[in-house]
Amino acid sequence: MMIQKRSKLPPSQYLIVGFLVIIFLGSILLSLPFAHRPGIRLPYVDALFTSVSAVCVTGLVTVDVAATFNLFGRAVIAILILLGGMGFAAVIMYIVLLLGWDVGISQRNLLSEAYNLGTLRGTLVVVKTVVLASFSFQIVGTIVGFLVFRHDYAPLDALGHSLFHAISAFNNAGFDLMGDFKSMMDYDQDVLLNILTMVLIISGGLGFFALSDIYRKRWNFRKFAMHTKIVLLMTAILIVLGTVAILFLERVDLLSALFLSVTSRTAGFNTIDTGALSSSGLFFVMLLMFVGASPGSTGGGIKTTTAFAMWLSLLSLAFGKQPAAFRRRIPDDNILKAFQVLMLALLTVLTGTLVLAFLEHDSFDFIQVAFEAVSAFATVGLSTGITTQIGNDSKLVLMALMFIGRLGPITIATSLKTKEAKVRHVEERIFIG
């Protein structure tokens, strides 16, 4: 009798299954009556939407979090954000390390897939960085946030608000407990809270590999890996460019423009009414959201390094130079992957926008629908205010976009591949362009 070997799932499929399990467990907990405030009845689709948004660290909501969930419900959301931002794979691996167990090749492959490392080198260092950086930033954020919230809330409530805010900000989630969907609009001129939130957002968006590299190289830019240099450069360029463009397009004050530029890179908090932005302002914010944060971070989007690699490739095409930066050449397979990410992301966003526009064609403008689709895919959470008004079918579309955006289109695409193709075809050139 022949015993067949059980085939192992590829890392991408493990990630998908893991995220789905956490999402559905979270939705069940959030749908329970003792997770809600008295008199609140929450439909399961809204509990599921909230769970997806939390695990995918997005921040889009169909219900008022502050008015709907009690302490237990808020704690569940915070834990879901932590698991989604840090990555359940890193949490499990850190527990394994604490227990002194060995971490095998398959586990390292899972971590490499989860954080888009593309290599098994340094995976355990990244795990330690994930946990250390996450808790360090969030503890400091809680302490500083308490100094702000203590003026408006009782001490225990202020502590709860500051802890939730720190978790949400560092993990680029965009959830808030301010109530009435106001996010941080009541604190638009609070310099301390604005700066704290931006620091947490940027730190979480740099990526754990970059944070680890910065820490190990003691802030010496010359010694940084090329990846870290590109992340820091692109982050600075996008923040400055975004601030200047928003100042020009919307005529808001400098602090508000800077905050919107930072939060558009997948965080989702807002100090000004996003729905009141002009069409040009909304379109520019969509571009910032689409690029997003950096690989291996708590943020979404196509990522800063992807945009940088494509830009270098276009420059090399125009000027006949190698795609190089910081005296290092970017490999061809990196550039190919960058364009693959772009095409998959565009296909996902365009499909999602088309379906949403069809479902909501009598209710909202196209720019509003497109903005919501990009915000969901890039796991940002900014909204023009239509999320609470859309139908259940549209909610399912946004959930799918958030899920694909959090895991990454490449991860989703590779999960469909069951085995390597054995057929090798003869190569023949075609005419391009």
Q: What is the pLDDT of residues 392-419, one digit of tens each?
A: 999 999 999 999 998 888 777 776 765 6
Half-sphere exposure of 370 (CA within 13 A, CB side): 13
Average pLDDT value for residue range 56-74? 94
Average pLDDT value for residue range 417-426? 67
- Give the rounded percent of residues in the chain with a pLDDT score beyond 90: 63
User: Where does residue 380 rank: exposed (0-12), middle (13-18), buried (19+ CB within 10 A)?
Assistant: buried
Residue 428 vs residues 103, 285, 340, 425, 431: alpha-carbon distances, Å: 44, 42, 21, 9, 10
pLDDT at 292: 92
Q: Which of 78-92, 230-244, 356-370, 383-397 has the lowest mean pLDDT?
A: 78-92
Residue that is written with structure tokens 């009845």 in the block: 41
Q: Which of 136-140, 347-351, 415-419 has the lowest mean pLDDT?
A: 415-419
Average pLDDT value for residue range 57-64? 94
Residue 432 banded pLDDT, cuts 50, 70, 90: confident
DSSP letter string, 353-414: HHHHHHHTTTTS-HHHHHHHHHHHHTT----SS-GGGS-HHHHHHHHHHHHHHHH-HHHHHH
What is the separation of C-alpha 19 from the centre of its chain, rounded to a whole number of angstroms?
Answer: 14
3-state secondary structure of 328: strand
Q: Which of 8-17, 198-207, 398-407, 416-425 has the lowest mean pLDDT?
A: 416-425
Of residues 346 and 87, more confidently modeled: 346
Q: What is the pTM of this model?
A: 0.89
pLDDT at 88: 57
Q: Which of 376, 393, 330 is nearest to 58 (CA)?
A: 376
pLDDT at 116: 54
Highest mean pLDDT pick, 37-41, 116-120, 125-129, 360-364 = 37-41
- Give the rounded percent of residues in the chain with a pLDDT score beyond 70: 86
The overall average pLDDT reported for the chain is 87
Residue 125 reports pLDDT greater than 80 = no
Residue 304 reports pLDDT greater than 60 = yes
Q: Which of 116-125, 270-279, 381-390 has the lowest mean pLDDT?
A: 116-125
pLDDT at 295: 86
Distance CA 147, CA 203 (A): 21
Average pLDDT value for residue range 69-96? 80
pLDDT at 320: 81
CB 59 within 8 A of CB 381: yes
Q: What is the pLDDT of residues 330-346, one digit of tens each?
A: 888 889 999 999 999 99
pLDDT at 141: 96
Average pLDDT value for residue range 53-74? 95
pLDDT at 3: 39
Q: Which of 63-72, 120-129, 239-248, 366-375 has the lowest mean pLDDT?
A: 120-129
